[in-house]
Amino acid sequence: MKARNPRTGEEDYDFLESSREEIAVTAARLREMQGRWEDIGPAGRAVVLTRFADAIDAHAAEIAGALAVDTGRGTVSMIEVQGCAGNIRRWAQRGPELFDRLDVEAHPSAVPGVEIVTNYSAFPLFGAIAPWNFPVILSHIDAVPALMAGCAAMVKPSEVTPRFVEPMRAVLAEVPELPLAYVMGGPEVGQALIEEVDYVCFTGSTATGRKVAEAAARALIPANLELGGKDPMIITAGADPDWAAGVALRSSVVATGQACQSIERIYVAREIAEPFLKALVAAAERVELTYPDPQKGHLGPFIFPAQAEKVQAHIDDARNHGARVLTGGEVEVLGGGKYLRPTVLADVTPQMAVMREETFGPVIPVGVYDDIEDAIREANDTEYGLSAAVLAAALDEATAIGVRLDAGAISLQDGAMTSFVGDATNQSRGCSGLGPSRMGDTGMLRFLREQALIRQMGDPMPIDAYAERGGS
């Protein structure tokens, strides 16, 4: 298979797609390793995972270099690699503490003379299907807590951003006892992975998530789905418009808006709408593209060219239906890469695609409200429920609004905080996801199966007594 360089537009990388047979062999090898891995216990696994993080740090330059080509990003690539290593260390530290808290004591049953002990064991083989927007972080965000729980892990990174896997395999060679492997390719490889594993996590679009859910249902395995979003931000009349504009801009356009937690629609009180828009446009026009130097500027290219086309279609649809483009608005082709400067839209309406469908680009549509009840109603008028944000005059006011928003994580007096707060337990709503939270303690505990050991402490019931109680 070939991969495209998002800065040049050239397909300049070849990699081998994993065959169905190779995937089956990999799964069998991981299952054989898993028993020993679980047997070494939480403390033993923490030691190995820490070595894994150390090896990533030792190879960080190579991984970040490959990631930079995959994504077109500069310094953000090294930050992502460092963040991955930090997340591994966090689970290595937290995991043993969570195991110590598990209730393994005997408890009396409601049936006299019987007591119950709960035994915990890991799902043997975990599988992850990862997206292209943050390839290193999101290939490991579920796999690492699964490994800490005692699972073996098989990961399919996105075929759009495959380059980082080669240096990561060199890392794995330094930690041979770690039961982690990558399989490479497109949708067929993802389907084969689901058929081999005992638990699957998927991060990506809602459309593909439905297909993963259907495949997992056919395989009768649990599925965690972290899907699309159309995250709203409400800004109240008491918020400082200059401050709110800065928060809104950062929360909407960082990583070129190619992040699931990006703010995708804003509702601002009419009293401050004019100064807010003026400040937002001024701040947006100071943002620079990372072209030609990826180490300078703020916004890189679109990683996936089809995404640039979708974003432009949303802007054009809004313009054609009466929205004003206050700045930005046109995808530019520079050196073969596709870029978009921060785009601020005014006079948007709820029916526009840019207000209803996930855009996934640096576009900031701004609606104006007169009554906070209208803002809350419009913010909740969506099939998605990933996250949201509120900016107000005070935290108490923001909280009172935030608890009424139908989303899994609400940033108060800030935006898109789930991008850097990794321990806030939350569950996506609507078409934004399915299953337990990947954050907080649940991030690991979801990979443990409960087994009831039902202990008869007296004499077992004879058949005659069983018949008298209505047995057959």
Q: Which residues are catalytic?
A: 226, 260
Q: Which two tokens stand for residue 379?
A: 């913010």
Q: Which residues are 182's β-sheet partners?
A: 155
- Residue 193: which of 133, 116, 239, 139 has the closest Cα? 139
Mind giving me the DSSP string for 119-174?
Answer: EEEE-SEEEEE--SSSHHHHHHTTHHHHHHHT-EEEEE--TTS-TTHHHHHHHHHT
- Cβ atoms of 360 and 340 closer than 8 Å: no
Q: Which distant-in-sequence residues (6+ apart) come within 8 Å of 58 by Cβ? A: 171, 174
Backbone CA torsion sign across 458, 464, 469, 471: positive
ω into residue 292 within 30 of 0, thus cis? yes
Q: Report helix, strand and coil shares of the chain as percent, to nearest 5.
A: 45, 20, 35
- 240: number of CA atoms within 13 Å, CB side? 7
Task: Give the containing element (helix H, strand E) for 335.
Answer: none
| DSSP designation for 238 | T
Q: How far apart are CA 333 and CA 178, in angstroms?
A: 43
- Cβ atoms of 34 and 152 closer than 8 Å: yes
Q: How far apart are CA 203 and CA 211, in angstroms?
A: 12
Q: Which residues are 410's β-sheet partners?
A: 388
227 CA to centre of own chain: 8
- Residue 309: which of 359, 251, 260 has the closest Cα? 359
